Amino acid sequence: MTLAKEKSFFDRVYEVCRLIPVGRVSTYGAIAKYISLPKAARMVGWALNKCETAQEYVPAHRVVNRTGLLTGKQHFGGSNIMKELLQSEGIVIVDNQITNFDKVFWDPSKELQ
């Protein structure tokens, strides 16, 4: 799939996040890598922090750090909303850690090329 390269970094992050299939998750680094900025993983998280400003809904709960840990949980209203959402999609989480992370991991640079 080809994404508009004219758009800003943020917009690309939002687009990739929306492309994440239900029941799957991705990582900040993987997304950053897909948009040709593998070292901008922090920017991805920051972009998701402002995902509410995006014109369309962004499933930011499907994006975790590269270990499968829900580091962004606290930014989801301060509750277990992120965990609840992921579990409702079939993802198993124990202590904010995705247990079957290897199976649900979705790499845009591989799945989306």
Partner DNA sequence: CGGGTGACTCGAC
Partner DNA sequence: CGTCGAGCCACCC
> Which chain residues interact with DNA by CB under 7 A?
8-10, 27-30, 37, 39-46, 48-51, 53, 60-61, 63, 65-67, 71-72, 74-76, 82
Is 19 or 40 the residue whose CB approaches DNA more closely? Answer: 40
Token reading at 18? 């929306």
- Beta strands 93-94 and 63-64 are unpaired
The CA distance from 63 to 17, in Å, is: 7
Supply the minimum distance, in Å, between the C-beta of residue 108 and DNA: 13
Is 23 or 75 the residue whose CB approaches DNA more closely? Answer: 75
- For residue 108, the one-letter residue type is P
